[in-house]
Amino acid sequence: MNDHAKFGTPTDRHHLGAAGMPLNTLSDYRPIPADAYGTLFLPDRLAKGYHVEEINDGAFYVTSGAYDAMFVATGNGVVAIDAPPLLGVNMLRAIREVTDEPVTHLIYSHYHSDHIGAAGIFGGDGLTVVSHEYTREMIERWPDLGGTRGLPTPTHTFSTSETLDVNGVKFQLDYKGVNHTPGNIFIYTPKQKALAAIDIISPGWSAFKHCDASENIRGWAEAHDWILEYDFKAVVSGHVNRWGTREDAQASRDYTADIIAFAKEALDQAEDLEFIERIGFSNAWVLWENYFNEMTNYVTKKTLEKVTDNGQTWGQRLAGADVMTKYHAYTILEALRLEYGLVTAFEKRIIPQEA
């Protein structure tokens, strides 16, 4: 069965109308800034499918060109942080490329399978596996997060913070509350000044859809400031194809703060909405769809056109901002109602109030 048989012809795909999503092409969007390519087209990454580089003193960054992870050679054993399926066995190859030390420790950043689902490549016997307690709960509840290989079950968990000492190398593990997911921890090596903070920022890029598919948007937004509290040379963020600098983290924080500010501004101005009369009150979902789309478009336009501190607009500065900002705008508008406690003028308008 070919793709057309499965999904319909390209023409059919464009005919979902109001029930469907827009299907666009590359030329509908702004070209990607050169520095956002990162390691994607490096000869070694193209040849091997991965790129590995030392951040500092035994701490290594490894990427498939889409998914990133970290590992630290301590002198007598490797500590791996995450194992994304899109790196898979290439993570082991990257480790073997730079050291003969065995992998003795594994730290999970969070339970999402796209970042830890290949951890079975490390085997399980004798491996010390560390995670937040919520991550262990998820792995025990849904063992298939590790696919056919399965996932090594955490042998040691914690709830707020913990310092690991592996052959004299310190790992500071911090959980400051719900963010991208419950249990998403930051892993910091003070000597190497390397920080793994997964699925918060995407260096050089706008985050992936809906604030990187986060479960708690307010916590995800706050986590940008948590990253900046560390004294780091490199932040390994899980995506996309290079590690991040302080400047990258500041840009992601400011971009997110602008979306939140414009979303609040949109809600303040949401009283005079012509579509309410036009659509009426018979189909609540059409009303809400129009409300969110109008607010989302307002926030998206304001954000993409905002001139930032380096003189560029967000649309010019962050790769893929013109693809993804609308999803963040929608998600943040929704979060303002659910997580920030704002009751919108729109809601007051459509629901009868006491006189």
Question: Closer to Zn ion at the Cβ: 68 or 199?
Answer: 199
- Pairwise CA distance, residues 323 & 151, whole Å: 34
Q: Quote the DSSP letter at residue 37.
A: S
- CB of 212: closest distance to Zn ion in angstroms? 7
- Closest to Zn ion by CB, 197 vs 273, is 197
| Residue closer to Zn ion (CB basis): 101 or 199 | 199
What's the closest the beta carbon of residue 304 comes to Zn ion, in angstroms?
Answer: 25
Residue ranges in contact with Zn ion by CB under 5 A: 112, 199
The angle that helices 284-305 and 321-338 make with each other, rounded to 10 degrees, is: 130
Whichever of 202 and 300 has its CB closer to Zn ion, that residue is 202
Residue 84 beta carbon to Zn ion: minimum distance, rounded to whole angstroms: 10
Q: How far is the CB of 331 from Zn ion (least distance, A)?
A: 15
Instruction: Reduce the DSSP state of residue 60 to 3 states and report it.
Output: strand
Closest distance to Zn ion from the beta carbon of 53 (Å): 23
Give which of 279, 281, 310, 307 is closest to 293, Cα–Cα. 279
**DSSP string computed for 164-201:** EEETTEEEEEE--S-SSSTT--EEEETTTTEEEETTS-
When the beta carbons of 112 and 306 are compared against Zn ion, the nearer one is 112
| Contact yes or no for 322/30 (Cβ under 8 A) | yes
Distance CA 300, CA 256 (A): 12
Contact by Cβ (8 Å): 78, 71? yes
